[in-house]
């Protein structure tokens, strides 16, 4: 049950700016629930950013990234209408991805 994502990709002056939000608890494994039990680690581990199907940024992240992660990336080039895809996978094997057209 992967949470929804949001993305905006815009082109200006030769660069494509990508801003993406992933809905994810990013549990560190150190937080306790109201009953005092530790909430198990649950966090995104890998994220890939693709421009027209070609990987441009490959990310590995830890539980040290804030809940509901937001990332900004910048790509030299691209054009309006190009396809940006961002995909993530977490430590439980859950994953999600989203496409957006560069505006």
Partner 1 sequence: MFGLAALGLLKPLAALAAWNKEAFGAKTADAALKGIGISGAAPTRDVLIEAPEIAENGAVVPIEITSNVPGTTSIAVIADKNPFPLVAQFQFQDGAVPFVKLNIKMGETSEVRAIAQAGGKSYVATKEIKVTIGGCGG
Q: Can you tell me which of 4, 12, 13, 30 binds partner 1, judged by CB under 8 A?
A: 30
**What is the rounded CA–CA span in Å between residue 36 and residue 48?**
36
- Residues in binding contact with partner 1, number by CB under 8 A: 37
Binding status of residue 45 toward partner 1 by CB under 8 A: yes
The answer to whether the beta carbons of residues 7 and 97 sit under 8 Å apart is: no
Binding mask 56-75 for partner 1 (x = CB under 8 A): xxxxxxxxxxxx-xxxxxxx
Alpha-carbon distance values, 94 to 32, 33, 64, 74, 101 (Å): 22, 22, 18, 26, 25
Q: Can you tell me which of 13, 34, 53, 76 binds partner 1, judged by CB under 8 A?
A: 76
Tokens representing 40 are 């198990």
Of 78, 77, 79, 96, the closest CA to residue 88 belongs to: 96
Q: Can you tell me which of 3, 6, 23, 39 binds partner 1, judged by CB under 8 A?
A: 39
Smallest separation (angstroms) from partner 1 to the CB of 1: 20
Which residues would be at the binding site for partner 1 (CB under 8 A)?
15, 26-28, 30-32, 39, 45-46, 49, 51, 54-67, 69-78, 91
């Amino acid at each position: 049950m992967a949470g929804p994502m949001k993305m905006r990709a815009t082109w200006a002056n030769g660069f494509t700016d990508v801003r993406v939000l992933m809905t994810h608890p990013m549990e560190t494994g150190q937080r306790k629930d109201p009953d005092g039990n530790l909430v198990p680690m649950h966090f995104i581990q890998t994220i890939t950013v693709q421009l027209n199907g070609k990987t441009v940024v490959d990310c590995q992240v830890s539980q040290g990234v804030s809940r509901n992660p937001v990332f900004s990336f910048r790509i030299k080039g691209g054009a309006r209408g190009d396809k940006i895809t961002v995909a993530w996978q977490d430590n439980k094997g859950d994953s999600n991805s989203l496409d957006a057209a560069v505006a």
